[in-house]
Structure formats: C-alpha cells, structure tokens
Amino acid sequence: MRVHICAVGRLRGGPEQDLVDDYLTRFDRTGRALGLGSGGVTEVEDRKGGGMASEAELLRRAIPKGATHWVLDERGQMLSSPEFADRLAAARDAGQGDLAICIGGADGLARDLRDEAALAISFGRMVWPHMLARAMLAEQLYRAAAILAGGPYHRA
C-alpha cells in the first residue's frame, strides 16, 4: 500500500523539509517488507484565494484514484502510535492500494472533505502549523512501520 501525503501549501527547503524527507525515506525502507511504502508528498496551492472549498477541491484532485483518504484535523481521534500502526495495517490488510492523508491550509479543511474521510486524526487539541504537521505525520508513519516490523524504535 502506498501512503500519500496531500497537503495545502509549499514547504521550501529547510529543517522541516529535511525531516519529512528523512522520515519518509525511513518509512519506505522499513515498510517495504511489510507491504507499506511512501507514495510521496503532493502539495497543492490555491493561488486564486478561493478558501477552504477551493483547497478541498485541489486536495480531492491530488488523492490518487481509488485511494482511501484520511485527514488530519483537530476534531479527529487522538490515537496512540500503536493504534495508528494498527489502523495503517488494517487499511493495508483490507487490500487498499493507496491511502492519502490530507493536511489542510491555515484555516483547516472544508467540512465536506472531512466528512468524506474514512478517518480523521488529531495530533492533540493544539493546532499545528502545516509544516510541522507534515513532519509529525512522516515521523508517525515511520514509527508505525517500525512498530509493525517489531523494531526497537518505538519504546512504549
């Protein structure tokens, strides 16, 4: 199963981009034997200023055909890392070829896109900048693969 991060906004080079790249490389390496791998990051940008509805449409177009999609949203479920790993494994085991995880822009995600998602995940009650949310998501993907592989990275 390929995991795609679909995000509003552009990450320019810097420490956040380095973290995302590093963790997605680790995820791909660790997850490959488990039937998991990185489908990469797709960035979308609403240049016309259409707001959340316009961003939602751009995100929908970024989601691969036939993919299940999850969203990061402050109103979502707070999962432990092992619970996140279990959800990822369940999607893979259900025969899902592609999973897209969407991250909204400064105003969040349009309600209809959130409602269409198979899962809404929260990284806590605080709101995080999209560049940090991406890095945190990439790290959790790697952590999930390490948990599923029985590796020592996760020490809970």
- In the predicted model, is pLDDT for residue 6 greater than 70? yes
In CATH terms, the fold of domain 2-149 is Alpha/beta knot (3.40.1280)
Give per-residue pLDDT as tens, 95-145: 999 999 999 998 899 999 999 999 999 999 888 888 899 999 999 999 999
Q: Provide the pLDDT for residue 127.
A: 86
Domains of the chain, by residue range, sit at 2-149
- Please work out, in degrees rounded to the nearest 5, the angle formed at the alpha carbon of residue 113 by the alpha carbons of 107 and 118: 125
Query: pTM for the complete prediction?
Result: 0.94
Region 43-68: mean pLDDT is 93
Q: Is the pLDDT of residue 156 over 70?
A: no
- Distance between CA 135 and CA 152 in Å, rounded? 21
Closest CA to 57 of 65, 45, 66: 45
